[in-house]
Amino acid sequence: MPIHIETGDITQENACAIVNAANSSLMGGGGVDGAIHRAGGPEILEACKAIRQTQYPDGLPTGEAVATTAGKLPVKYVIHTVGPVWGRCGDRCEVLLANAYRNSLRTAESLECDSVVFPAISTGVYGFPKERAAKIAFETTRNFLASHPEIEVTFIFHSDRDSDIFKQAIKGL
Ligand code: AR6
């Protein structure tokens, strides 16, 4: 199965698309969102502003995804998605996180991307427990790839520790 697990910086990845763990405003932020906007330059923010003015005036809803240019990054597209905020998603946390992965993959498919790199959506500032997030990320992706074997997916973690947590969590799935 074309699923890879790596440690590194998503802004250095070479692929068709990288996914951004954004917030509904699409106006940037900290964490991986901040790193992507810094490395990609102002073109990404300009594209996000255009999306806010047209497609999503009230912001991108949790679990949805939308693509923009990648600016100066070595990929073609940045796919922005919004993961759930742990503690504010009630009994819908798992569904919303799965939606974020699935809708990002659907967006990649619509762009005819054959490679996508994901960060660990919601597991930073948004506080989603890492083991639970790992299982959802992996199962949602595996289910999607069953009918889209042409797409290669990489999960990238900022530390070896997080990458190990992911590998442990998906063992036996
Ligand atoms: N490359 C790969 N992974 C990274 C990088 C990087 N350069 N930087 C951080 N991570 P977070 P969230 C990991 O907080 O929880 C932002 O302010 C990090 O270690 O970026 O979905 C947005 O604007 C963690 O495992 O995203 C939103 O407001 C993972 O990326 C909010 O944070 C996700 O952490 C979204 O929170």
Nearest protein CA to atom 18 of ligand 1, as residue: 124
Q: How far is CA 48 from CA 8, 24, 82, 146, in A?
A: 25, 11, 13, 31
* Predicted local confidence at residue 2, as pLDDT: 87
Q: Which of 9, 33, 160, 162 is catalytic?
A: 33
Active site residue 91: no
Instruction: Let me know: does 75 contact 43? Beta carbons within 8 Å.
Output: no
Q: pTM of the prediction?
A: 0.98
What range does the domain containing 55 cover?
Answer: 3-170
Gap between the Cα atoms of 138 and 29, Å rounded: 26
- Name residues contacting ligand 1 (CB within 6 A): 9-11, 21-23, 29-33, 35, 83, 119-126, 156, 158, 162
CATH code, domain with 66: 3.40.220.10
| Centroid of ligand 1 to alpha carbon of 31 (angstroms) | 4
Instruction: Let me know: does 61 contact 84? Beta carbons within 8 Å.
Output: no
Total domains in the chain come to 1
**Tens place of pLDDT per residue across the chain (173 aa):** 589 999 999 999 999 999 999 999 999 999 999 999 999 999 999 999 999 999 999 999 999 999 999 999 999 999 999 999 999 999 999 999 999 999 999 999 999 999 999 999 999 999 999 999 999 999 999 999 999 999 999 999 999 999 999 999 999 99
Q: Which residues contact 125 (CB under 8 A, 6 or more apart)?
A: 29, 30, 31
The CA angle 34-14-55, to the nearest 5 degrees, is: 55
